[in-house]
Structures are given as C-alpha cells and as structure tokens.
Amino acid sequence: MTLVATRPGTGEARPYTFPEIRRVSVGGGTVIAAHLPGQLLASAILMLDAGAAHEADGREGTATVLAKSLEEGTKARDSAAYALALEGLGAELSPSVDWDSFRVGVSAPVPLLLDAVRLAAEAIRTPRLDATDVLRVRDDEVTALRMDWAQPGPRADATLRADLFGTGRYGRPLHGDPASVAAVTVDDVLAFHQAWLLRPGVLLVAGDLDTLDLAALGEAAFGGTAGEAHTGEGPLLWSVRDHRRVILVDRPGSVQSTLRLGHRSPERATPDYVPMTLAATVLGGAFTSRLNHLIREVKGYTYGIRGSYAMSRRFGRFEVAAGVQTAVTVPAIVDTLGEIDRTQLDGVTEDELAVARSWRAGQLSVEMQTPGAIVGALSTLVLHGLPDDYYPSLRKQYLEATVEQVSAAAAAQLHPKGLTLVVEGDAAAIRDELVAANIGDVLDAEI
C-alpha cells in the first residue's frame, strides 16, 4: 500500500485573536474599526436604527423601497452621474434592511474608501427621492417580489412567519409582500427617511487602519446629521402551541416539496445562545448532523436539510428547512420529526458535540478572513451590545460547552409537539397522505 494508513495528529494551534478594534467619536456619531494590516480592500457599513420593525401596518416593505430609491439620484447629481461616480471607484452600494437595522455597505480599494463612503453618505443623507422615481422603484419592487415569490420558498416562509408571529409587523414578511409594497406611498418613504436615516448611526470599518483616516470617514458619514439613537423595545412575549399544525401551500406540478418546520424560541440575548446553537448544529447544522445524515445521506430524499435557530433583538425562532422529492414528502417529514424528538428527549452525545464545538469555534477563524466578513462581525457586536472581546470569549464558550449543557438546551428549547409544519408542494399529490399521516391538523394556506 502506497498510502499512509495513520491519520496525522494536530499541529500547534496559533492563539485565536480578533483584529484590534478602534473607536473614534466624531460629528455626533461613532466609528468602530478593525485593523487589518496589509489588506488591499477595505469595507465600511453605515448602520442605522431603521429596521423593518418601524414600518406601519399594511405598508411592510417601506424601508426596502427607500433602500432601493437611494441611488435614484441625490441633491448633488442624477442617478446616471451617481452610478458613474461610485462605480468609477470600483465600488457598489449594498443597502439592506433587517428587523433591527438598516445598513448600507460599501467596499473599495483602501485609498478609495473615503470617497466611496462620501458617496454612500450622499445617497443616504441627501437622496433626491423624486415622487415619480419613488413610485417607479415601488412598482419595480412589487414586480421583483412577485418574481421572488414564484420561486419555491418565499410563500412557505411567509406562511410560517404568519403562523408563528400572528398579526402585526413580526407576522409579516421582512420585505413585505406584493400587496403591502403596492400600498406604500411616496409620503411613507419620505417620512421613513426623515425619521430614521438622518440620525448619525454607527460607521463600521474594516481595513488597514495605518492608511485609513477614521476621523475623515466619520465626518463623511455623519455630516449634517442630528438626533438621538433609538432605544429599542424589549423582547416580544412568546409561547409555543401544545399541538402540531400542518399548513399546505399549493404549488401545482412541483417536483419537490419545500419544508419549513418551526416554532418560536428566545431572542438573541438569551443566556442559552451557545448551547442552543450547538444543539442545533448537532441536529441540523453540520454536514454530519442528524438530519442531513438521515434525510440526505441514508435516505436520499433531499439535496440538503438544515436546522437552526435565528435570533434577533426581539424574537427568535427554530426552523428546519429542506426541499424533498414530492413522492417522499411524508416519509421525510416523519423522519425529520423523529430526529427532532430524539434530540429533545435524549440530548446529544459527546462525539457529536465534539464536532459541533470544533466546527463552530474553527469557523470563527475560517469565515473571518476578509474585510467584508470582519465588518459584518463588528455589526453583530454593535447590534447586540456585545463587548470587544466577544469573539475570543465566544470561541472559548463553544469549546467548553458540556454534553449536559447542550442536552439541557435541546430539552428546553426544542418543541417537536408544538411545531408548525409548512409544506409547499403539489397539494393534489401529497394532501391525502399528509392527512392520513396524522402529524397534525392539515390546513390550507391563505397565500
């Protein structure tokens, strides 16, 4: 045999560090920066307390329409000139809206970052927002949502969200739906801009700080702003139902069924964050997770299945997501429920947890190589009020978590008997079998 039979051991690990973090207060705002010596590119994010949660009922998607209107010209130049100026730096804006924040990211070669941030600020602080442009962007967004909703997934996601979060903003899709976006008015967009995009916010920067001028970047980002930071509300009240419910979203002729199984869970600040994350990694996070192993590698029902907790400032939810071949929809659901049940009842094993611990800890290095990744990590610190030494401490917590802690989190935070199971697929082909399987009451989605 020409191959080496013995698996090699581990070399010497370098101590884990997160890049040095610097802060500068300027113009009423704060710049928080991570030093990445020698990097040719730099990234910045202007983060504002202007998340989708501020949107009015029935007008969900207002912030997204605003985000997409920012590049339709500024007080200083029209949209074509703006595009040329920004892209001439090799930069593009990436505006995004989530539940808790409104972000505009930009990256560029280090010597050009200041100009890129100036242009980003010009669009954010002084957009033209002509009524005809806003209406056109809104109509385009309605069309774009219809395009998106023609894919498998978005209707299932919206159905699960509505069932878990009920009426009110959190029960509606993050970016709204075609009807709510169509209802957005020019005044809604202008008012949202006035209320939330003129406050200083926080500028996050990752790059070579020996070259970047943080004060100048801050002046560019915060010039002409005023107002206080928004004080966020506390977590939403929540509970989990005592019975399961199946909701069928019809997608005639679909060759796969899209599964979204979920229930509510604690918000990001929960002390169980680490053991919950590890429990979900064992159940459905890693490639060798219980779910992926059984549903993909043993049964061949799917290309992939994932289970995870998503946690924002005010709420959390557990979800399992997969696309499974239509003919095996029910067996795939039954097997999935079996693995969730087993994890909740019996917890995790040391072997499985060892993989989850090392993977989560290692990913803190592997997934944090670029300015874009580091600036994203800074935004997590700011959003959730975490300390500068958070990542080294998180790594330690992952590595030290015990089977007992993780099993206890699985026992407390998995609720297989209270799951909502959304199945988006060919109803004519799967309804009878779903009803007969007696998983829970089968309802039809109103979507």
Determine which residue in the list 311, 324, 375, 419 makes contact with another protein, applying CB under 8 A.
324
Q: In the bound complex, what is the minimum distance in angstroms from residue 286's beta carbon to another protein?
A: 5
- Choose the stretch contacting another protein; rule: CB under 8 A; options: 136-144, 185-193, 220-228, 267-275: 136-144
Q: What distance in Å separates the CA atoms of residue 148 and residue 122, rounded to the nearest whole number?
A: 30
Member of 105, 173, 316, 323 binding another protein (CB under 8 A): 323
Query: Helix, strand or coil for residue 317?
Result: strand
Shortest approach of another protein to residue 200 CB, angstroms? Answer: 27
Choose between 166 and 253: whose C-beta lies nearer to another protein. 253
Asked if 400 touches another protein (CB under 8 A), the answer is no
Q: Can you tell me the distance from the alpha carbon of 404 to that of 33, in angstroms, rounded to the nearest whole number? A: 38
Of residues 46 through 105, those in contact with another protein by CB under 8 A are 71, 79-80, 83-84, 86-92
Interaction of residue 212 with another protein, rule CB under 8 A: no
Pairing of strands 245-250, 441-444: parallel
Interface with another protein includes 446 (CB under 8 A)? no
Contact track, another protein, 282-321, x by CB under 8 A: ----xxx----x--xxx-xxxx------------------
The 10 Å CB-count burial string (b at 16+, else e) for 127-141 is bbbeeebbbebbeeb
CB closer to another protein out of 222 and 398: 398
Give me the long-range contacts of 189-194 (CB less than 8 A, separation at least 24): 189/62, 189/65, 189/66, 189/69, 189/129, 189/134, 189/138, 190/129, 190/134, 192/50, 192/54, 192/55, 192/62, 192/63, 192/66, 193/66, 193/127, 193/129
Cβ nearer to another protein, comparing 10 with 231: 10
Residue selected from 230, 365, 382, 429 as contacting another protein according to rule CB under 8 A: 365
- Residue found by looking up tokens 């089968």 in the block: 442
Which residue type does 65 have? V
- In angstroms, the CA 316 to CA 415 distance is 13
* Interacting span for another protein (CB under 8 A) from 20-28, 150-158, 197-205, 226-234: 150-158
| Residues numbered 249-268 forming contacts with another protein, rule: CB under 8 A | 253-256
Contact residue for another protein among 5, 167, 226, 237 (CB under 8 A): 5
Q: How far apart are CA 276 and CA 295, in angstroms?
A: 22
**How many Å separate Cα 13 from the centre of its chain?**
31
375 binds another protein (CB under 8 A): no
Among 229, 327, 370, 429, binds another protein (CB under 8 A): 370
Does residue number 139 form part of the binding site for another protein (CB under 8 A)?
A: yes
The CA distance from 395 to 381, in Å, is: 15
| Closest approach of another protein to the CB of residue 110, in Å | 10
Residue type, 122: E
List CB contacts of 176: < 8 A, sequence separation 6 or more: 55, 59, 60, 61, 62, 64, 145, 184
Q: Could you tell me which stretch among 26-34, 50-58, 336-344, 369-377 binds another protein (CB under 8 A)? A: 369-377
Report, in Å, the least distance between residue 232 CB and another protein: 31
How far apart are the C-alpha atoms of 375 and 101, rounded to whole Å?
15
Judged by CB under 8 A, the chain residues 102 through 131 that form the site for another protein are 107-109
Look at residues 178, 338, 333, 313 and name the one whose alpha carbon lies nearest to residue 260: 333
Note whether 224 binds another protein by CB under 8 A.
no
| By the rule CB under 8 A, 135 interacts with another protein | no
